[in-house]
Structure 1
């Protein structure tokens, strides 16, 4: 996907966030979690991450039923990890129904130092 097209698509995704994405965004925005700044629907290489904290190199992906093909997600996760990102995947229903546990997992990942390299 061309860079300009990807940016346009990311903007469209920001306008059309899923219920779970909107719900999590209200808890991540404005440095509410561990004082870290998150971006939503942010282009990273050939992909668009649901949420990313650049400072902590953490990507959060919110998965629904469309993520039934593990090969696609595995390639994406491998590429992101190769770039130095940690990747957390959460199911839509967990974000809505188990918000505190999801936020605790994210906070733990933010607190975990990245390996030197």
Structure 2
């Protein structure tokens, strides 16, 4: 069976996305990197199957997606829904939130992420 994480053919795309984070992704990354959020390790622009997710926490099988205006388009919402359903079927938890909340209420976003953590 082919591995589902970080498939080689997506490597260049993942690297390009890491170099060109949106301002919301960069802001959130500053609070997720180096295990700052309750000791959880996060990866940015991580691929699962043929999808590249914004952030991924392996310990929690948690995918975090930040959505800008592009994601408000109906066609994109359908794609996002289908993608989320595929990832959920593989046991991943999806936390999807609009970019604006990263800037308007970062504590709300971080607390929302924490609620996805399994109790230890």
What's the TM-score once normalised by structure 1's chain length? 0.90
1:6 corresponding residue in structure 2: 10
1:100 equivalenced with 2:104 (yes/no): no
Is the CA contact 1:10–1:41 (under 8 Å) kept in the aligned structure 2?
yes
Say which is worse superposed, 13-22 or 67-76, in terms of deviation: 67-76
Q: Count how many residue pairs are aligned between Structure 1 and Structure 2.
A: 111
Q: CA deviation at 1:76?
A: 0.7
Structure 1, unmatched stretches of 5+, are none
Report the 3-state secondary structure (helix = DSSP H, G, I; strand = E; otherwise coil) of the residue aligned with 1:33.
coil
Q: CA deviation at 1:6?
A: 1.1
Q: CA deviation at 1:4?
A: 3.5
Report the 3-state secondary structure (helix = DSSP H, G, I; strand = E; otherwise coil) of the residue aligned with 2:116.
helix
Q: 1:32 aligns with which of 11, 30, 36?
A: 36
- What CA deviation, in whole Å up to 9, does each residue of 1:65-112 have, x standing for no partner? 111221100011001101110001111110111100000000111145
- Superposition misfits of 4+ residues, deviation over 6 angstroms: none
1:23 corresponding residue in structure 2: 27
- What CA deviation, in whole Å up to 9, does each residue of 1:5-27 have, x standing for no partner? 31110100000000000000000
What's the TM-score once normalised by structure 2's chain length? 0.88
Q: CA RMSD in A?
A: 1.3
1:43 corresponding residue in structure 2: 47
Is the CA contact 1:42–1:50 (under 8 Å) kept in the aligned structure 2?
yes
